[in-house]
């Protein structure tokens, strides 16, 4: 079974990763360039372990919310809102798809994406539907 692990972040998270000081009220950890490099090294090593185990299917990071567009319909017409959204609003930051033997194993893998130094950080896991009959 394939599972998608969804990672979230806010514009403030992206700002901190790019070296900007945390904004007032930011609840995540401040990060030095060395912290950012260590995080990237950890993620690279973690993903390589999934590749080596044969469980890695795909994974991508998404650009900062400042580059996002949200589209909704009002009276049948598209209404577009450019990012960034309110600084505290989390958006999808990236994803990893794994193929493994169970939801429990997918949960174990997902736990490796959560930063233990950032209380409240989370990821979501959802099975990937292979056909419309699995959408229910």
At residue 103, the pLDDT reads 96
Could you tell me the pTM of the whole model?
0.86
Asked if pLDDT for residue 106 goes beyond 80, the answer is yes
Mean pLDDT for the chain overall: 90
Query: Residue 88's pLDDT is what?
Result: 62
112 pLDDT band (50/70/90 cuts)? very high
Structure confidence at residue 133 as a pLDDT band (50, 70, 90)? confident
Q: Are 107 and 125 in contact (CB under 8 A)?
A: yes
Give me the pLDDT at residue 55, please: 98
Residue 6 has pLDDT above 90, yes or no: yes
Judge residue 113's burial from the number of C-beta atoms within 10 Å of its C-beta, 0-12 exposed, 13-18 middle, 19 or more buried. Answer: buried
Q: Tell me the C-alpha to C-alpha distance, in Å, between residue 73 and each of 30, 81, 84, 85, 91.
A: 38, 11, 19, 18, 19
């Amino acid at each position: 079974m394939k599972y998608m692990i969804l990672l979230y972040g806010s514009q403030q998270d992206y700002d901190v990763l790019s070296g900007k000081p945390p904004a007032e009220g930011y609840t995540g950890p401040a990060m030095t360039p060395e912290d950012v490099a260590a995080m990237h090294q950890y993620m690279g090593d973690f993903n390589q372990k999934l590749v080596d185990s044969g469980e890695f299917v795909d994974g991508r990071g998404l650009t900062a919310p400042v580059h996002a567009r949200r589209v909704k319909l009002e009276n049948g017409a598209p209404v577009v809102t450019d990012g960034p959204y309110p600084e505290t609003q989390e958006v999808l930051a990236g994803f990893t798809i794994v193929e493994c033997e169970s939801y429990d194993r997918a949960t174990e893998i997902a736990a490796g994406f959560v930063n233990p130094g950032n209380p409240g950080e989370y990821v979501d896991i959802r099975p990937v539907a292979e056909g419309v009959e699995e959408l229910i």
